[in-house]
């Protein structure tokens, strides 16, 4: 993963006290932290607890992060550790009651590594999408909604002639492809399975 | 750069990316945003160095015996904070003994204060229901913040 200049700037600004930059960092990485919590099948209460600890630890670490590129890895490892603490505590408590159950859910490192790659790719895609003109964002959102809107709906909502929707979609996607946000994606991306096109994938 | 992705693949990847963000509950994002209130807090952090619950868990496995009092110790370079739960209140002492003021910060963002007497003793009553942390300002200028506590 290359150093994404945008993330480097966010970390620098946040550690200098810029609250807006902190909010952007949280928005960018909350899906990563949240997904790892769900991998451990935590309750909402425990997810909140883990989230609190992870973000508070990050706040304390902000000024000390030498390589902001390592941030997703740090967040993933810290989240996994906090999740493990919660499930281990729950398992201990249960063992006291029954004297039997020693099942603690472990999540493989490879799973966590893949979550990091997916989260980085998703964050870059969302950033590229956010850079698109509002018109493109509206069109792509309508095409991606579940269930997808028909071309007739899109024509009615956005006033684009039905015959122009296909070409406009292509132009918007081409803009995304050329965006600097996607340029930050590293070479490891091709290893990730992209389930293209399937609703809900 | 993803020049090699065709339109459908790019659109599919974008769908996944947007869904992943939508799957995160708003309260989870709020929790993260609020954590910034702790940025650059000018205090020494005191780490949890003893928790009777940990002891009790092990003791029960070994001896089927339970301790009745919850005790915790937080330690920083200059000060330790000893805590003991008795009934509905939390009694504590700063060691070495220091006079000062104690702030109780809850996760909900509420802050209350209480006095620390000349032998370093204080009480927190009632005990906050949500996780909380203590910040001690002593008369000699030491400023210590504990980790989060759940009783």
A/B interface, count of CB pairs below 8 Å: 138
Nearest to A144 among B15, B24, B107 (CB): B15
Place B138 in a pLDDT band, splitting at 50, 70 and 90. very high
Q: Cα separation of A114 and B34, whole Å?
A: 28
Q: A49 with A96: CB under 8 angstroms?
A: no
Residue burial A171-193, b: 16+ Cβ < 10 Å; e: rest: ebbeebbebebbebbeeebeeee
Nearest to A122 among B2, B16, B61 (CB): B16
Q: B42 with B143: CB under 8 angstroms?
A: yes
Q: A116 with A76: CB under 8 angstroms?
A: yes
Per cent of chain B over pLDDT 90 is 55
Report the C-alpha dihedral over residues B15, B21, B26, B28, rounded to 10 degrees.
Answer: 150
From A120, A102, A101, select the one nearest A112 (Cα to Cα): A120
Place A93 in a pLDDT band, splitting at 50, 70 and 90. low
Out of A21-30, A83-92, B129-138, give the one with best mean pLDDT.
A21-30
User: Tokens at residue A32, please?
Assistant: 């990563």
| A152 Cβ contact partners less than 8 Å away, ≥ 6 residues apart | A162
Q: Cα separation of A79 and A84, whole Å?
A: 9
For residue B128, count other CB atoms closer than 10 A to its CB.
19
pLDDT score for B12: 94
- Residues A185-200: what's their mean pLDDT? 47
Give the global pTM. 0.74
Q: Is B54 in CB contact (< 8 Å) with chain A? A: no
Å between A187 CA and nearest CA of chain B: 9
pLDDT score for A68: 77
Which residue does chain A place closest to B54, by CA atoms? A89
Query: Would you kindly state where each structural domain of chain B is located, as residue ranges?
Result: 7-36, 43-146
Which residue does chain A place closest to B130, by CA atoms? A49
Instruction: Examine residue A147 and say whether the peptide bond preceding it is cis (omega within 30 degrees of 0).
Output: yes
Contact B39 A35 (CB under 8 A): no
Q: Cα separation of A80 and A82, whole Å?
A: 5
> What secondary structure letter does DSSP report for A63?
G
Model confidence at B62: pLDDT above 60: no
HSE of A158, CA atoms in CB hemisphere, 13 A: 24
Model confidence at A158: pLDDT above 60: yes
- Residues A80-103: what's their mean pLDDT? 69
User: Tokens at residue B132, please?
Assistant: 């909380």
Model confidence at A103: pLDDT above 50: yes
pLDDT score for A201: 34
In this predicted structure, which of A191-200, B37-46, B111-120 has the lowest mean pLDDT? A191-200
User: Tokens at residue A84, please?
Assistant: 């493990």
Nearest to A48 among B18, B31, B45 (CB): B31
Bigger pLDDT: A51 or B108?
A51
Place B52 in a pLDDT band, splitting at 50, 70 and 90. confident
Helix (H), strand (E) at residue A72: helix A71-98
Q: Is B108 in CB contact (< 8 Å) with chain A? A: no
How would DSSP label each residue in A14-40?
HHTT-HHHHHHHHHHHHHHHHHHHHHT
Contact B1 A185 (CB under 8 A): yes
Per cent of chain B over pLDDT 70 is 89
Q: B70 with B52: CB under 8 angstroms?
A: yes
- Residues A19-26: what's their mean pLDDT? 95
Place A96 in a pLDDT band, splitting at 50, 70 and 90. low
User: Tokens at residue A4, please?
Assistant: 């994404």
Q: Is B130 in CB contact (< 8 Å) with chain A? A: no
Q: B29 with A47: CB under 8 angstroms?
A: no
User: Tokens at residue B52, please?
Assistant: 């009777």
User: Tokens at residue B25, please?
Assistant: 């509950």
Q: Cα separation of B106 and A30, whole Å?
A: 22
Out of A41-55, A100-114, B91-105, give the one with best mean pLDDT.
B91-105
Model confidence at A26: pLDDT above 90: yes
Pick the CATH number of B43-146 from 2.30.30, 2.40.10, 3.40.50, 2.60.40: 2.60.40
> What secondary structure letter does DSSP report for A100?
-
Residues in chain A with CB shorter than 8 Å from the CB of B11 are: 140, 143-144, 169, 173, 196-197
| B10 Cβ contact partners less than 8 Å away, ≥ 6 residues apart | A173, A176, A177, B2
Residues in chain B with CB shorter than 8 Å from the CB of A177 are: 1-3, 5, 10
Q: Which residues pair with B45 in a beta bridge?
A: B145
pLDDT score for A8: 87
pLDDT score for B148: 82
pLDDT score for B131: 83
Q: Cα separation of A63 and B78, whole Å?
A: 23
pLDDT score for B57: 60
Contact B16 A197 (CB under 8 A): no
How would DSSP label each residue in A125-173?
HHHHHHHS-HHHHHHHHHHHSSSPPPHHHHHHHH---HHHHHHHHHHHH
Contact A125 B61 (CB under 8 A): no
- Residues A76-93: what's their mean pLDDT? 84
| B58 Cβ contact partners less than 8 Å away, ≥ 6 residues apart | none
Nearest to B39 among A51, A59, A183 (CB): A59
pLDDT score for A5: 79
pLDDT score for A196: 42
Model confidence at A130: pLDDT above 50: yes
Q: Cα separation of A122 and A35, whole Å?
A: 12
């Amino acid at each position: 993963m290359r150093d994404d200049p945008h993330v480097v700037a966010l970390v620098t600004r946040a550690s200098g006290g810029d609250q807006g930059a902190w909010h952007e960092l949280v928005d960018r990485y909350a899906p990563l932290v949240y997904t790892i919590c769900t991998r451990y099948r935590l309750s909402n209460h425990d997810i909140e607890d883990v989230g609190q600890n992870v973000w508070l630890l990050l706040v304390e670490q902000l000024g000390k992060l030498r390589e902001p590129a390592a941030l997703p890895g740090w967040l993933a490892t810290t989240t996994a550790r906090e999740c493990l603490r919660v499930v281990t505590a729950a398992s201990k408590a249960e063992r006291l009651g029954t004297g039997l159950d020693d099942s603690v859910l472990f999540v493989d490192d490879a799973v966590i590594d893949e979550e990091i790659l997916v989260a980085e790719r998703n964050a870059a895609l969302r950033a590229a999408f956010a850079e698109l003109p509002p018109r493109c964002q509206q069109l792509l959102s309508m095409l991606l909604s579940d269930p997808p809107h028909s071309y007739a709906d899109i024509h009615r909502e956005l006033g684009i002639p039905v015959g122009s929707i296909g070409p406009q979609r292509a132009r918007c996607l081409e803009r995304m492809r050329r965006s600097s946000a996607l340029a930050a994606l590293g070479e490891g991306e091709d290893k990730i399975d992209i389930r293209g096109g399937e609703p809900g994938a | 750069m993803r020049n090699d992705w065709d339109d459908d693949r790019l659109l599919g990847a974008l769908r996944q990316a947007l869904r992943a963000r939508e799957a995160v509950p708003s309260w989870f994002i709020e929790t993260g945003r609020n954590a910034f209130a702790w940025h650059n807090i000018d205090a020494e952090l005191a780490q949890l160095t003893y928790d009777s619950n940990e002891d009790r868990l092990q003791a029960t496995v070994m001896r089927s015996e339970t301790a009745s009092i919850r005790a915790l110790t937080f330690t920083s370079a200059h000060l330790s904070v000893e805590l003991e739960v008795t009934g509905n209140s939390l009694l504590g002492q700063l060691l070495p003994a220091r006079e000062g003021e104690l702030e109780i910060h809850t996760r909900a963002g509420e802050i209350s204060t209480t006095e620390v007497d000349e032998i370093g003793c204080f009480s927190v009553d009632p005990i906050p229901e949500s996780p909380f942390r203590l910040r001690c300002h002593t008369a000699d200028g030491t400023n210590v913040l504990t980790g989060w506590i759940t009783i």
